[in-house]
Amino acid sequence: MNQRKLIYLDNNATTPCDPRVVDAMLPYFFEKHGNAASRSHQFGWEAEDAVDYAREQIAKLLNVEDKEIIFTSGATESNNLAIKGVFEMYAKKGNHIITVETEHKAILDTCGHLEKQGAEITYLKVKEDGLVDLAALEAAIKPNTILISVMWANNETGVIQPMQEIAKLCEKHGVLFHSDATQAVGKIPTHPRELGVHLMSFTAHKMYGPKGVGALYVSRKNPRVKVTAQMDGGGHERGMRSGTLNVPGIVGFGKAAEIAREEMGKDAERLSKLRDHLEAELTKMEETKVNGNVGSRMPHVSNISFKHVEGEGLMMTFNQNIAVSSGSACTSASLEPSYVLVGMGLGDDLAHSSIRFSLGRFTTQEEVDQAIELVRNGVNHMRELSPIWEMYLDGVDLSKIEWTAH
Ligand SMILES: *Cc1c(COP(=O)(O)O)cnc(C)c1O
């Protein structure tokens, strides 16, 4: 193998931009470079029309009204706008927000920020399979609860939360429901209105669109939700998000949404077969464990722990032939174990030994087969070198060993 082609299995970090998306964007950099807020000439009108069309394409994917889509710079901003915006807008109603320990940092850190401003935040634990405990969620609701924020699908495990049931609880208790749906939109059906989700964050670059553009869905009726703007300026996006719109990015986002609507079914079917094949082959090895509820999971994701194999080390054996993420160093340069996996009750060792494989629209069967081979060889190699693995094979109960020297 001297002609090396890097196999990209890290689509949950970001997806490549679909070439059809790039084609749609190109005219908006030069010929049609107008500012969508310029009302007095052709350039402005053209840009505004393009933004309107993209808004329609995105609204269609979600089955919502165009006006319910607020463009942002990405899901991080959408999450900030949703949570801070609701906290400020509904301050008279209460200050309590419920979220979950395994949320993305864009949710957790935003909540942390609000705690300093007087918010009361409940961080729910998840069950071992990564799902929210609905009884615990309901028990956490109080008279001053204004918002429940639960992600649609987890970025590390692909676990899909029981959205319908959570929405029902929100409805029953008159609490707003926000979801960070970044990993779900464009890959599985996500229809916030039908489900009872009132605010929903997502981003183009996780659904084969460009980076730097995202959106927040904000329900306009039953209930009519408002969020306080987090940026002051020209009052764009119905006053909720000021700033000149990223027209080429939005055009690409719209195209990505249109393609997703047409192709997500067939993509999901193909990818779940490939993912299942990858998983079946890799779990043939001893002491492997799939993390997260396999019955409620995104079709293209597999998070696997290879016991007694350190994930970052395993990735080095791939010699830059496969791009994946490990359960270490997901959020920082330090080798902290993934808080998502630890939150699901995995010990630090199992969290460190986990690898996230996330397939995408451009992943081929051949790449998956090559990846299986590389991972298998890597795991075997690491275990052959490991005295701990030898002890395991000798039947030593590793949990009973006193490791520190006295
Ligand atoms: C990627 C991701 C984000 C951040 O999205 P950006 O558009 O990069 O800001 C937020 N939440 C989840 C679940 C993600 O996977």
What span, in angstroms and rounded, lies between the C-alpha atoms of 71 and 253? Answer: 10
Last residue of a domain, one of 225, 259, 293: 259
pTM for the structure as a whole: 0.95
Q: The domain spanning residue 367 has which CATH number?
A: 3.90.1150.10
Q: What is the best residue among 155, 161, 202 to mutate for testing ligand 1's pocket, by most ligand atoms within 8 Å of CB?
A: 155
Phi then psi for residue 322, to 5 deg, are: -130, 135
What span, in angstroms and rounded, lies between the C-alpha atoms of 147 and 136? Answer: 15
Query: Whats the size of the chain, residue-wise?
Result: 406
Percentages helix, strand, coil for the chain (3-state, rounded to 5) are: 40, 15, 45
74 within ligand 1 shell (Cβ under 6 A): yes
367 within ligand 1 shell (Cβ under 6 A): no
Same domain, 196 and 123: yes
Transcribe 152-208 into DSSP letters: SB-TTT-BBP-HHHHHHHHHHHT-EEEEE-TTTBTTB---HHHHT--EEEEEGGGTT
- Full domain range(s) for residue 331: 7-14+264-397
The protein residue whose alpha carbon is closest to atom 5 in ligand 1 is 75
N-term to C-term CA, the chain: 48
Domain count, the chain: 2
Tens digit of each residue's pLDDT, the chain (406 residues): 445 689 999 999 999 999 999 999 999 999 999 999 999 999 999 999 999 999 999 999 999 999 999 999 999 999 999 999 999 999 999 999 999 999 999 999 999 999 999 999 999 999 999 999 999 999 999 999 999 999 999 999 999 999 999 999 999 999 999 999 999 999 999 999 999 999 999 999 999 999 999 999 999 999 999 999 999 998 999 999 999 999 999 999 999 999 999 999 999 999 999 999 999 999 999 999 999 999 999 999 999 999 999 898 899 998 889 999 988 754 556 678 999 999 999 998 899 999 999 999 999 999 999 999 999 999 999 999 888 888 889 888 877 777 676 5
CA trace torsion 216, 297, 108, 67 (10° rounding): 10
Last residue of a domain, one of 259, 294, 311: 259
Cross-sheet strand order for the sheet of 325-326? 288-290, 301-306, 354-358, 325-326
Same domain, 204 and 229: yes
pLDDT at residue 1, rounded to an integer: 47
Query: What residues are labeled active site?
Result: 330
| Domain presence at residue 1 | no
